Structure 1
């Protein structure tokens, strides 16, 4: 009876460790484990199409996460998506002529904003808008254009 009890406790411990490991994995995938502390400043950017960009998506520069998407809205006068980003406080020298692009991590991964710095000596400040943007490239549109092009060549 003592041996059976030991096996049950061991199996129970492995199940608990598995659940804890799944919890940490879920936190990493959902980006909730890296919630910002609220420090930093806001930048906005307008895109004609944001694809599947979501709130809390990373904002990167040179492949390093420097912030997160804080909110996504719709501008009814210009018919564009208005994205507000919170940039970490330590990143305070982003040139005014920086480009904001929406990229996809991998073929079908999450979308994020990649900032490519320009050469301006002036820097973006809290509340500024990034004027140079490139919208998301949608896989469906690229496939449609490819098929349309191939159909035109063969016909």
Structure 2
């Protein structure tokens, strides 16, 4: 906006101050008018440059929507599989929800599910949280805090029976 105000001010000065004298034949005023028009053209180019660079900046509401998007990962093994959603998908307080299935996409009635998150490259030991079953067929971990963004290893420990536990794991990318 500052460039536009400067452009319009310069154009007004050219129109009402310099144009009449330049038409009358004053060579000094004609040179000033030519220089002023050159400056106007540079300002217009600067305005185009600012407008072209502006398109790469997303609006704040788009940033807020992207920050609230969950991170999803599908973990598949022969004995079991899980669809894991971490909402929101960035570092900080999050909620993890999982749908647990058998390896052939059938229902799996697990006795217990534990979510384990680790990031050994940052020196973070595994965070273990026992999931609860809210009643809609999924498992949920509330009050989970992911301290730093980056690539985490997520492991889901599924207690199938008193004598069988299935562990599946995959990497997940947590946004800043």
**Length-normalised TM-score, structure 1:** 0.33
Q: Greater strand share, 1 or 2?
A: 2
**Length-normalised TM-score, structure 2:** 0.30
Greater relative contact order, per chain length (Cα 8 Å cut-off, separation 6+):
1
> Based on CA coordinates, which of the two structures has the bigger radius of gyration?
2
